[in-house]
Structure formats: C-alpha cells, structure tokens
C-alpha cells in the first residue's frame, strides 16, 4: 500500500472543470426540442375537503397544452413507502403541499398564469399539527382508512434487560430532547423532464440519487397507466445537491409523466425555491425521552429511549429513520442493555424524508447530551466517561454489529489534544468545551434485499478506459474516487479513465446514494472489475512478452516485467494486437459487489454494515450572557475513515457536514404554524453563510478497514452527526445551562440563563 | 412591447430585443442560452446568479434587463480565455477542492473575481465579505476560501 500513486492523493474532482466553467448541464439547463413546461397547483389549506374544482378557464388560456387533475391519474395509484400518497389529490387534502392540479404550457409563465385560473373550492377541516396531539384519542384522523394517526411501523429494539440494569446502576439520568424540521437546501432545486417515445417508452431526465429504484417506480407507474412492459430510462443531469432529498420518487415526477402522456411532448417541471422549501420532504422533528445509567466506575449500564417522530401527511423514507437511529442507540459506546421504542405519527404537516445522517443526528443529540449529564452526576470528566466506554475493534454490539476497524478512541484523543480539553474544561469565563462522538454505517447498509453496485469496464485501442458504474455522483465526488481506484489498479494515468454514471440504459444496477455507502460499495465494485480486467491484460501481455502473467505489472500505461525491466509493451499496443487479429477480441470486464452485510431480523438485529465509521467532534464556545449568542472559537472534527482515498474530497465532506451540523445546532428550523411553512426562503431560514464558519480542523484518522477498497470506509453523512450535542455540551460547560431543544438560538440560551439566575437568587 | 438593448457581454457588443420586464438572468439563460449563470432562488438571496456589471458583483436575478444598456457584463462563460485556458480562480476552485455539487460555483467565482479585480491581496475577512451573499450547502466554504486565497496568491 506504500506504493500507491493515485489512491490517497489530492486529486481534483473530475467534474470540477465542467462546473467551474459553467458548462455542466443541470436539470435547470436542460432543453429538449418541443419541450413544454409543467407547473403544479398546491392546496391552499393544510386540511380540507375539495368541494369544487374547475379547470375550464385554464384550459382555454392560449399556450396551455394540458391541464390534469386526479381524474387523469389511474384510480388507486399511490406512491411512497406506505403507498399512501396519490400524486394528484381528490376528496381531501392533507397538507399545504398537496398537489391538486397541474398544467403543461409552452412557457413557465403561461403555465403559472394557467394555475391562477384554476378554481378550487374547499371546506376547511380541523387539522392536527403536533404529533403528540395527533396521538391522542379523538384527534382528527389524517388517513381515515388507517384508523389511527400512529403509523403501523412498530419500531422497537430490546437488548438485554434495561429494568434489571436500572436497579444495578449507581447513577441514572433522565431527560427529554427535541429537534426541529430542517431541510436540505440543495442549491439546485428539484426537477425533471419526462419524455415518451412513439411506443410510450419513458426517458426521465432527473436528478435522482436512486436511478435503479426510481426506474422500478416509474415502470410501476406506467403499468398503472395501462402501459405494460414499457422501457424506462433514467438519465441524470448534473445534480445540484441531494443530501437524501432525492432518495424517493415524488408526485411532481409522476405529474410530469402524466403531462407528457397527455401532450405527447417532453414536459419539464423544475421547482422554484419556494416550492423547494415547502414541497420537498425534510428531516422530521422528533421528541426523545432518554434515560442512561452507569456503575460507580462510569461504565454504561443501560440506555433507554422513547421517541415520537412527526411523519407528516404522507410516508416516505423519513418513517424508516428509526432503523438507523437504532445504530447509535444500541452501539454508540459499549452499552449492554438497550431499549428503544419509536412512533411515527401522521400530521397535517409536510412529510418527512431522508436527510444526511438518516435519523442519526436526532438520536445522537439526545444520547450525547444525556451522556454529559450522566458524567456530571457520576462526577467523571465527560471525556473520560467516553473513553472508558468507547467502542473497540472486535466488539460485537448488542444489536449484533460486528465492529471491525474502529478509531473511536483515536478520534476522541485527537479532539482532546487539539482542543486543549484539559486546559479549558470547566474554566469558566463564559467559555467552555464540549464533545460528542458518532457511529455510522461505513461499509454499506443492507436495507434492501441487495446492497450492491455493478461496474463494467471497457478498454479502447489506446489503453484508455470507460468505467460504467451504477453509483451516482451527487456532488460528493464518487466519480473521482472510482476513477482513482481504477487508475491505481490498472497502473494508468487518471486522465485515461472516463466514468459514466448517469444513464440506466448503460450503467449497471446500484441501490442508490445513501448510507454513506458509495466509496465502500461502488469502490469495491470498481476495484473488482479493475482487477478482473487487469488479469486479462497481463495474460495478453504475457504472451506478447513471453513472460508469466504473474511477473508482469502495469505502470503509467506500460506493461512491464518485474524481473526484466527491458521487457515492456505499452498498454494500447497490447490491446491493438489483441483486437486487430483474426478472431480478435476487445477487453471488457464486469463486477457486481454486494457486501456481506445482513438485513435486520424481526427484532431489528443483525450486522447491517460490513464496517462502521467513527468520529468525534469537539468545540470550544464562548457565550455572551447579555445576548445569549454562542460563538464557536474552535471546532475539531476527527473522523475514522479507514483510508482516505482522496484526502481533499474527504475533508470537503467533513467541512460540509460540519457546517450543516452547525446550522442544525444553532439556527436552522422550518417554522410550521398550523401546517403552514412560515419561513420558506433563504432570508428567514437560517442556512449558514460563509460568515458563520468557525475556525475548523478536519482530522483524518486512518484505521485500514480490511474489507474496504484500499482500506476505506464511508464518510458522506458522519460529518454532521455529533455537531449539535458537542455544541450543547460546550455551552453547558461555559455557562451551566443545557439547551435540550434544537436549534440553540440566542433566545433559548438567554431564557435558560435568566431561569438559572432566578433560581440562584431564590 | 420589446425594446432594443445594446451592451457589452463577455467582451463583445451585443444588440438584442428584450422585454423590459425581464431580469438580466432571464436574458442570459433563456434567450442568450448562457446557462452557466444559475438561478438558485430568484430573489437575490443565494448568489448563484452572480455576474459582474462594470466591475461590481450583482445578482442578475434581480437586475432589470434595461439597466445593462451600455454596460459591461461578464458571466462565468466570459472569464475563460478564447484559447480555452481557465481563469486562475477557476483553476484554483478545481485544484483546491472548492467544487462539490457545483451549482453555487459560477456565482461564487464571479463574486470572488469582482473582489480580486478590485483588490490584489484581500484579507480573509474581505473574502468572506465578498462571498457572504453566495450560499453553498456542500463545502462548508472552507475550501472556497482556500481557493480564493490561492488564486490571489498566485497573481
């Protein structure tokens, strides 16, 4: 591994030149001849009965080519994880993002004008906007046929005996923590272009992060439209950010398909920023009751958590985030007895989805805040408590995760050292330090039946390589990582590797960009294909050079004998010799990598991932007692990544994740009032700007994961997981108040300080 | 009613018919097909549509098209040399890892260019000031600042 020339290096992102020159084509930039523009009419009310709908005026507007309503959709066609979401609504609307009608017109402006001509009459219904209220008996039912607002997803994990452990614990803490709705804020908004050919085969230009699964969804949709056996091709434009938001298929995409069917023209729907805020699916708000115990020495004895999640009006992957929350709940630090129960609850709010971390940030905020409370009660430094209970290689956790490589202690030590923890902890002066750790899947996650990714490698006559991968690049840099791996194995310059990753017609299957799995899974798939094709090359070259394949290698595109350095043949020459001969051949190889991880069993136990990623974040803060403002003076983010395939891109994931975590901690919140989003714009939704970045260090800890490609593990999501609790813990160290409800706004800090002072004065 | 508009776009005189209601962004993207300039919000809050007008970084999504009459407008497409060689800022953004999804990148580069054109060696605070109106969700801004510093240092 010491001889690596491309892996482990700071290689610029392969698509960066396109993006930096403005030549990259995002969905916003895509034009197809004859293309129409679609717009969607959303509900005016979060909960109402539609008593009248008249589209006749809109249909008459010059330039309008089609107006569609629920009656144009196949009856009973539903989308989403629980198939509870008709793409166009009739009868009842359940949230302000409910789609009632849509228009295709020759320009976006005409389509917009047509929407204003559609008349909808509503009878407003009392809504349910608070998940705790929605769980009560007599609360208005969101989905009447479901007979309850609590989803039939009984999330429950029991390991060991929590009740017995409570009795034996020397110290126990209990508290409640809550987190808000937050949204992805992709700079490129959602959108697609639907195009049907003469035989109704569909091409969907899309910015999905799940091309293979989306393809399946649209095939189902075409079936529902009575178009059986049709082909669906997904072509991804350059994707302007995803962060989990594009992990499902959405009503607007089915509406675009419907409009394309009605008009026989390509139809484009691109969201405005306003729509991106209210009509995409964010990270849900949660309320978590947690109790934690330890023995006299500070060894954790149990962890018990009860959680309520606002599912919103329909069901997407947000409802399955408790499955990932179980990961830190059962396995962040060694804790032998664990109990977790979660309820997802329908409300008349927007509906929730995956967002970077997939539930982990919500759970880790409660766990790591509570752990500091426990350390205080037990009279142990929070750092020592963490170190004492830290995960280790070889451990099998209560949820049956097999921990392979684990750099948790090293990460904690990096934080302590670089933050000067011992010099700064508990020193007062309105300054304080805090830390929090994380565990996340780092070697895929078997949430579907397959966690695989396919790769095809094709070589041309000149020794250049095309790599067809199922793995999508959503900005994180998988294209570059895959190119590095292939170039390293084949001994060719990285510029000789071309990665094709955006077309289901030519790219193999992949389960999608989720679970921080792409470097690990797609990397291993690329590695497997590259090794296969390298073996073929060496075999051919061996004949030409009259050598054994085992004594040959490739460097800078030249095959050479390791025994006799005079014996060489350029790769292109060997390939041409193979090709231009009677009965000639061209080189191709394919490899499908599906990690040896396990689906959860019925008790939600099993080795979900082949390896686990660890990290620890530490911050030093200063709190202004007059304003409640929190200033981050120093931020250390240490991550166990197995091996950094590309340290520059990796740091980019840590910095980007860290700042997203900082936004979650200190400012971001979608303000929903009675089902209406009150701050759906960049002015009022406080996404961090460059002015919000603290002094930050990304620390890479390498542990060489045996199953990872060149030793690598995933890093896409971990960066934002421990930020909020690290900051909350630091604030407590600085001024002695604990904020348990994100985001930690100056108002909350000030109120807590006032309350504390009031108590002291009594 | 369409009106005639003449201005300098990326170093060349352009005369075109415009609807006075249009924004500059609309003219650039939808009519002149210069789609390197992005629309991230349409109300001047994200900076993805930043172009340079007479040396100033401007949100083209808010800029009334008639107001560019006689002015010099530079877009991301205009900072690459005719021989295809990139502007030092573009190279720095690529080499320093300042690009992830890339949607904010053209606007970010244009804001940085307006800064560097006015000031050779800006301080970190001046860099932050210059790109405060450019939102990025991917990078955490760290490597964007590095790239701008590197481009400034390399002059």
pLDDT beyond 80 at A97 = yes
Asked if A658 and B95 come within 8 Å (Cβ–Cβ), the reply is no
**B138: which chain A residues are within 8 Å (Cβ-Cβ)?**
187, 241, 475, 652, 656
Q: Which CATH superfamily is domain A31-125+190-270 in?
A: Aldehyde oxidase/xanthine dehydrogenase, a/b hammerhead (3.90.1170.50)
**A475: which chain B residues are within 8 Å (Cβ-Cβ)?**
100-102, 138
Size of chain B, expressed as the number of residues it contains: 155
Q: Which residues contact A532 (CB under 8 A, 6 or more apart)?
A: A457, A589, A590, A591
pLDDT beyond 80 at A150 = yes
Identify the pLDDT of residue B153.
87
- Fold (topology level) of A452-593: Aldehyde Oxidoreductase; domain 4 (3.30.365)
Asked if A681 and B45 come within 8 Å (Cβ–Cβ), the reply is yes
Whether residue B121 lies inside any domain: the answer is yes
Asked if A18 and B41 come within 8 Å (Cβ–Cβ), the reply is no
Identify the pLDDT of residue A760.
67
Size of interface A-B (CB pairs under 8 A): 165
User: Which tokens belong to A653?
Assistant: 């994931």
Tell me the C-alpha distance between B7 and B70, whole Å. Answer: 5
**A651: which chain B residues are within 8 Å (Cβ-Cβ)?**
97, 142-143
Tell me the C-alpha distance between A432 and A633, whole Å. Answer: 10
Q: Are residues B104 and B47 in the same domain?
A: no
pLDDT beyond 60 at A467 = yes
What digits encode the pLDDT tens for the residues A189-201? 999 999 999 999 9
Strands, sheet with B72-74, edge to edge from the N-terminal-most edge strand = B12-18, B3-9, B72-74, B50-53, B56-59
CATH architecture of A286-446+600-761: 2-Layer Sandwich (3.30)
- Asked which of B24, B47, B78 is the last residue of a domain, the reply is B78
Mutation pick from B44, B84, B100, B113 vs chain A, by most beta carbons of A within 10 Å, is B100
What digits encode the pLDDT tens for the residues A471-509? 999 999 999 999 999 999 999 999 999 999 999 999 999
**B46: which chain A residues are within 8 Å (Cβ-Cβ)?**
187, 273, 682
Residue in chain A closest to B47 (alpha carbons) equals A187
Residue A38 near residue A255 (C-beta atoms within 8 A): yes
> Cα–Cα distances in Å, from A30 out to A253, A342, A581, B61?
16, 42, 43, 19
Whether residue B83 lies inside any domain: the answer is no
What digits encode the pLDDT tens for the residues A616-655? 999 999 999 999 999 999 999 999 999 999 999 999 999 9
Asked if A655 and B75 come within 8 Å (Cβ–Cβ), the reply is no
Interface of B with A in 7-66 (CB under 8 A): 29, 34-43, 45-46, 48
Asked if B101 and A273 come within 8 Å (Cβ–Cβ), the reply is no
Of the partner residues A187, A689, A690, the one whose CB lies closest to the CB of residue B101: A187
Asked if A243 and B137 come within 8 Å (Cβ–Cβ), the reply is yes
> Cα–Cα distances in Å, from A413 out to A383, A404, A421, A699?
9, 20, 10, 11
- Asked which of B25, B43, B78 is the last residue of a domain, the reply is B78
Average pLDDT of chain A is 97
Q: Are residues B57 and B103 in the same domain?
A: no
Of the partner residues A25, A187, A690, the one whose CB lies closest to the CB of residue B141: A690
What digits encode the pLDDT tens for the residues A413-430? 999 999 999 999 999 999
Asked if B46 and A273 come within 8 Å (Cβ–Cβ), the reply is yes
Buried b (16+ CB within 10 A) or exposed e, A162-195: beebeeebebbbeeebbbbbbbbbbbbbbbbbbb
Residue in chain B closest to A474 (alpha carbons) equals B101
B86–chain A nearest CA distance, Å:
8
Asked if A16 and B102 come within 8 Å (Cβ–Cβ), the reply is yes
User: Which tokens belong to A685?
Assistant: 């939704």
> Cα–Cα distances in Å, from B7 out to B73, B77, B80?
7, 16, 19
pLDDT beyond 70 at A762 = no
**B45: which chain A residues are within 8 Å (Cβ-Cβ)?**
681-683
pLDDT beyond 70 at A2 = no
B124–chain A Cβ distance below 8 A for any pair: no
Size of chain A, expressed as the number of residues it contains: 762
Dihedrals φ, ψ of A729, to 5°?
Answer: -70, -35
Tell me the C-alpha distance between A219 and A200, whole Å. Answer: 11
Asked if B80 and A21 come within 8 Å (Cβ–Cβ), the reply is yes
> Could you tell me the pLDDT band of residue A761, with boundaries at 50, 70 and 90?
low
pLDDT tens per residue across all 155 residues of chain B: 899 999 999 999 999 999 999 999 999 999 999 999 999 999 999 999 999 999 999 999 999 999 999 999 999 999 999 898 999 999 999 999 999 999 999 999 999 999 999 999 999 999 999 999 999 999 999 999 999 999 998 65
B134–chain A nearest CA distance, Å:
8
Mutation pick from B52, B57, B97 vs chain A, by most beta carbons of A within 10 Å, is B97
Tell me the C-alpha distance between A656 and A648, whole Å. Answer: 12
**B76: which chain A residues are within 8 Å (Cβ-Cβ)?**
21-22
Q: Are residues B102 and B43 in the same domain?
A: no
Asked if A273 and B40 come within 8 Å (Cβ–Cβ), the reply is yes
**B29: which chain A residues are within 8 Å (Cβ-Cβ)?**
29
Of the partner residues A21, A28, A682, the one whose CB lies closest to the CB of residue B86: A21
Residue A350 near residue A677 (C-beta atoms within 8 A): yes
Three-state DSSP class for A87? Answer: coil
B123–chain A Cβ distance below 8 A for any pair: no
**B31: which chain A residues are within 8 Å (Cβ-Cβ)?**
none
A19–chain B nearest CA distance, Å:
5
Q: Are residues B126 and B61 in the same domain?
A: no
Q: Taking the CA atoms of A626, A632, A634 and A636 in sequence, report the sign of the dihedral they define.
A: positive
> Could you tell me the pLDDT band of residue A735, with boundaries at 50, 70 and 90?
very high
* Domain of residue B97, CATH code: 1.10.150.120
Q: Are residues B28 and B68 in the same domain?
A: yes
**A690: which chain B residues are within 8 Å (Cβ-Cβ)?**
128, 131-132, 134, 136, 141, 144-145
Q: Are residues B65 and B99 in the same domain?
A: no
User: Which tokens belong to A174?
Assistant: 């209990």
Asked if B132 and A690 come within 8 Å (Cβ–Cβ), the reply is yes
What digits encode the pLDDT tens for the residues A296-307? 999 999 999 999
% of chain A surpassing 90 pLDDT: 99
Q: Are residues B110 and B61 in the same domain?
A: no
Q: What ipTM was predicted for this assembly? A: 0.98
B134–chain A Cβ distance below 8 A for any pair: yes
Asked if A652 and B97 come within 8 Å (Cβ–Cβ), the reply is yes
Asked whether the domain spanning A452-593 has the same topology as the one spanning A286-446+600-761, the reply is yes
Cα angle for residues B83, B84, B90 (degrees, 5° grid): 135
Q: Which residues contact A224 (CB under 8 A, 6 or more apart)?
A: A74, A77
User: Number of structural domains, chain B?
Assistant: 2
Residue A310 near residue A285 (C-beta atoms within 8 A): yes
B152–chain A nearest CA distance, Å:
17
Give the domain extent around B123: 88-153
Whether residue B127 lies inside any domain: the answer is yes
Tell me the C-alpha distance between A10 and A25, whole Å. Answer: 26
Domain layout of chain A by residue ranges = 31-125+190-270, 286-446+600-761, 452-593
- Asked which of B78, B103, B131 is the last residue of a domain, the reply is B78
> Cα–Cα distances in Å, from A683 out to A246, A669, A723?
24, 12, 23
**B40: which chain A residues are within 8 Å (Cβ-Cβ)?**
187-189, 273
B96–chain A Cβ distance below 8 A for any pair: yes
Q: How far is CA A196 from the centre of its chain?
A: 30
Q: Which helix (H) or strand (E) holds A475?
A: none
Tell me the C-alpha distance between A664 and A653, whole Å. Answer: 16
Q: Are residues B72 and B106 in the same domain?
A: no
* Domain of residue B61, CATH code: 3.10.20.30
């Amino acid at each position: 591994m010491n001889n690596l020339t491309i892996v482990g290096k700071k290689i610029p992102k392969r698509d960066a030149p396109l993006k930096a020159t403005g030549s990259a084509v995002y969905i916003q930039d895509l034009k197809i001849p004859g293309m129409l523009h679609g717009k969607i009419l959303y509900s005016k009310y979060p909960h109402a009965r539609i008593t009248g709908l008249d589209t006749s005026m809109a249909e008459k507007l010059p330039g309008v080519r089609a107006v569609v309503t629920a009656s144009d959709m196949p009856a009973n066609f539903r989308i989403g994880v629980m198939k509870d979401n008709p793409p166009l609504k009739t009868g009842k609307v359940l949230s302000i993002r409910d789609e009632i009608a849509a228009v295709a017109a020759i320009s976006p402006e005409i389509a917009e004008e047509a929407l204003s001509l559609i008349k909808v009459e509503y009878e407003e219904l009392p809504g349910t906007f608070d998940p705790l209220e929605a769980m009560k008996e007599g609360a208005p039912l969101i989905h009447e046929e479901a007979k309850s607002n609590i989803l039939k997803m009984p999330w429950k994990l029991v390991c060991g005996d929590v009740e017995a452990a409570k009795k034996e614990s020397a110290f126990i803490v209990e508290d409640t923590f809550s987190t808000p709705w937050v949204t992805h804020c992709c700079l490129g908004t959602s959108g697609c272009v639907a195009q049907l050919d003469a035989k109704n085969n569909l091409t969907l230009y899309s910015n999905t992060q799940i091309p293979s699964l989306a393809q399946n969804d649209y095939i189902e949709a075409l079936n529902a439209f009575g178009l059986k056996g049709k082909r669906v091709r997904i072509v991804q434009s350059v994707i302007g950010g995803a962060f989990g938001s594009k992990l499902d298929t959405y009503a607007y995409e089915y509406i675009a398909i419907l409009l394309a069917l009605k008009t026989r023209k390509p139809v484009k729907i691109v969201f405005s920023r306003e729509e991106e805020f209210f009509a995409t699916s964010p990270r849900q708000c949660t309320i978590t009751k947690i109790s934690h115990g330890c023995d006299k020495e500070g060894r954790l004895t149990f962890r018990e958590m009860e959680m309520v999640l606002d599912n919103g009006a329909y069901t997407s992957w947000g409802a399955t985030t408790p499955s990932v929350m179980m990961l830190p709940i059962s396995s962040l630090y060694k804790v032998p007895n664990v109990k977790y129960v979660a309820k997802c609850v329908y409300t008349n709010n927007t509906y929730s989805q995956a967002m970077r971390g997939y539930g982990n940030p919500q759970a880790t905020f409660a766990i790591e805040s509570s752990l500091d409370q426990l350390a205080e009660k037990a009279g142990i430094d929070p750092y020592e408590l963490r170190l004492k209970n830290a995960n280790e290689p070889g451990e099998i956790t209560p949820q049956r995760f097999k921990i392979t490589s684990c750099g948790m202690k090293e990460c904690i030590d990096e934080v302590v050292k670089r933050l000067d923890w011992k010099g700064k902890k508990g020193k007062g002066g309105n300054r304080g330090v805090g830390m929090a750790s994380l565990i996340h899947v780092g070697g895929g996650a078997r949430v579907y039946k397959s966690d695989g990714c396919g790769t095809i490698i094709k070589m041309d006559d000149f020794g250049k390589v095309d790599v067809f991968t199922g793995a999508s690049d959503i900005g994180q840099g998988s294209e570059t990582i895959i190119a590095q791996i292939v170039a390293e194995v084949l001994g060719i310059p990285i510029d000789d590797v071309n990665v094709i990753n955006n077309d289901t017609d030519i790219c193999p299957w992949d389960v999608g960009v989720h679970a921080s799995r792409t470097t690990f899974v797609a990397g291993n798939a690329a590695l497997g294909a590259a090794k296969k094709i390298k073996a073929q090359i060496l075999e051919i070259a061996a004949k030409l050079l009259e050598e054994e394949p085992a004594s040959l290698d490739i460097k800078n595109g030249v095959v050479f004998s390791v025994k006799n350095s005079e014996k060489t043949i350029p790769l292109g020459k060997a390939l041409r010799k193979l090709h231009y001969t009677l009965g000639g051949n061209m080189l191709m190889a394919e490899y499908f990598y599906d990690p040896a991880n396990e689906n959860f069993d019925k008790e939600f136990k099993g080795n979900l991932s082949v390896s686990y990623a660890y990290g620890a974040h530490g911050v030093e803060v200063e709190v202004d007692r007059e304003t409640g403002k929190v200033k981050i003076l120093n931020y250390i983010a240490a991550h166990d990544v197995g091996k950094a395939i590309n340290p520059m891109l990796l740091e980019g994931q840590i910095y980007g994740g860290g700042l997203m975590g900082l936004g979650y901690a200190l400012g971001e919140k979608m303000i929903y009032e009675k089902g209406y989003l009150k701050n759906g714009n960049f002015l009022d939704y406080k996404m961090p700007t460059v002015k919000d970045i603290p002094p930050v260090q990304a620390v890479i800890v390498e542990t060489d994961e045996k199953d990872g490609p060149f030793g690598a593990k995933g890093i896409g999501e971990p960066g934002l997981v421990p930020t909020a609790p690290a900051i909350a813990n630091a604030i407590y160290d600085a001024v002695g108040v604990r904020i348990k409800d994100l985001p930690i706004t100056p108002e909350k800090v000030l109120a807590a300080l006032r309350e504390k002072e009031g108590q002291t004065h009594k | 009613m369409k009106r005639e508009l003449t201005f300098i776009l990326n170093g060349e005189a352009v005369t075109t018919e415009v609807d006075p209601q249009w924004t500059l962004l609309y003219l650039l993207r939808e009519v002149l097909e210069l789609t390197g300039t992005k629309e991230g919000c349409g109300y001047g809050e994200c900076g993805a549509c930043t172009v340079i007008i007479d040396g100033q970084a401007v949100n083209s999504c808010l800029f009334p098209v008639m107001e560019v009459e006689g002015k010099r407008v530079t877009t991301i497409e205009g900072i690459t040399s005719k021989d295809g060689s990139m502007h030092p800022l573009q190279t720095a953004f690529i080499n320093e890892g300042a690009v992830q999804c890339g949607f904010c990148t053209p606007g970010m580069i244009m804001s940085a260019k307006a800064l560097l054109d006015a000031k050779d060696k800006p301080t970190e605070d001046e860099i932050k000031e210059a790109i405060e109106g450019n939102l990025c969700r991917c990078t955490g801004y760290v490597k964007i600042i590095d790239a701008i510093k590197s481009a400034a240092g390399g002059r």
